[in-house]
Structure 1
């Protein structure tokens, strides 16, 4: 069955292809968010003596930093003043968001997969179970990051605001979530507030997946999926209403 050229799937395919091209033309952040954690994993392994903590913790931190790339995929349309042109086409807001989401989601998945493979081969992390729980963990975390990043794009008005917010979020989410320091070594007040951080659930989920703990993986994955759905719904409503369209270059 062929899809008509003016059909929904065709519009999504065109938007996806365009955004793939944009990702390919600017791979700098993707490369830096691979190289930096690779170096730091070796250092943190020597400091902590625990490969799993070093790998999963830095993976969470640098994947949160990647939210800037997620948000940029939408924010650039506003700073380039091309968002209204997209909205004037037949493409609906969900179609536009899907077209932008697919390439970025692929980048997030590839980033985490490469770091996990590197963690096994170079850092010494050992998997105690099947690989599919790790695949579930990576998918759930990438989905949450994708939706939250898109929601952020509907709130900030400039690249400066975006960089500031994502940098603060990366450090806060990582530190409070037990990504940088094992949860058991955190102060009591930090342990009490840790569950409000998505990084807490991401770190716990990834470490459970490495251990082969299916229940420990599924619970946090459900929490992150719920966060992603809520953020995605907010992003759709925000962008469909046109709130905050005016962005400064």
Structure 2
């Protein structure tokens, strides 16, 4: 039974990787654009936050761009599910022996690879070129893992709930920008208006930013809280996606 599940998931992963690589534009842009913005804006952040500490500006720009563009990468896994729905091929997949969770895992693993590569590229870029201070690779890996898992589950939920690609684009473009800005990705929370600081914990970007800051600074206690919140978010979003794909889609809206 377990070997059959591994075979089915492996087949789905190969298929979805091929589909992803046939249109590499969104993937490449999520890898390259944060590097460009970090290189251009790093001097500005270092100067603006010089009074808070020598490395604060570097941590802010690297973590901020990483969180922002990884939120935009929600489109990769969300579009993978929505495209199957619009092609009318998702029902064919459901007719196979694959369970709902196997279908989701088969979609998520290629996107997982994209997100992990993005995290390594951006953090490595900041470390090598701008001297990003990393207290513990283990803590940083924990923060990355929790955030990537939350992103994958959120992306699956959005792909299962959206009724069209334009609606999905609103979720990950407008929603992603608003949530990451509210979470302190562009400017530190202390520089934001009071009402924004009060609303910030409602954003997944807030917990991602705090987890990266905590990991880079070696603050284990704060990181554990951030990871717990991100994992709860992942479980809730993943359960919603698994439930939604077993229900009707409202197919007439996907023409």
Q: TM-score range by the shorter chain?
A: over 0.9
TM-score between both structures, scaled by the size of structure 1: 0.94
Selected match of 1:241 from 221, 227, 247? 247
Displacement, 1:243?
Answer: 3.6
Helix, strand or coil: the match of 1:241? coil
The aligned counterpart of 1:18 is: 15
Q: How does 1:1-249 map to 2 (within 5 A)?
A: 3=3, 7-49=4-46, 50-127=57-134, 129-249=135-255
**195-204 or 237-246: which moved more?**
237-246
Q: Does 34-43 or 178-187 show the bigger shift?
A: 34-43
SS in 2 for 1:154: helix
Change (3 A) 1:135 1:21: same
Range with greater deviation from structure 2 (83-92 or 21-30):
21-30
Query: What's the offset of the Cα at 1:124?
Result: 2.8
SS of the equivalent of 2:162 reads coil
Q: CA deviation at 1:119?
A: 1.0
SS of aligned partner of 2:161: coil
Cα distance between partner residues in 2 of 1:218 and 1:100: 28
Which digits, 9 at most, give the CA deviation of each residue in 1:131-173, with x for residues without a partner? Answer: 0111111110010010011001111121111112211112111
Q: Cα–Cα, structure 1 residues 245 and 232, in superposed 2: closer, same or farther, change >3 Å?
A: farther
Secondary structure, aligned partner of 1:13:
helix
SS at match of 2:245: helix
Distance 1:142 1:232 in 2: 13
**Which ranges of structure 2 fall in alignment gaps of 5 or more residues?**
47-56
**Per-residue CA distance 1:188-220 (angstroms, 9 max, x = gap):** 111111000110000000011111222222210
Residue 254 of structure 2 aligns to a residue in which SS? Answer: coil
From the superposition, tell whether residues 148 and 140 of structure 1 become closer, same or farther in structure 2 (CA, over 3 Å): same
* Structure 1 residue 42 displacement after superposition: 2.1
In structure 2, how many angstroms separate the alpha carbons of the residues matched to 1:178 and 1:29?
Answer: 24
What TM-score do the two structures reach when normalised by structure 2?
Answer: 0.92
Say whether the 8 Å CA contact 1:78–1:247 is kept in structure 2: no
- Count of residue pairs brought into register by the alignment: 245
**DSSP 3-state at the match of 1:125:** coil
**How far has the Cα of 1:247 moved from its partner?**
4.8
CA-atom RMSD, angstroms?
Answer: 1.6
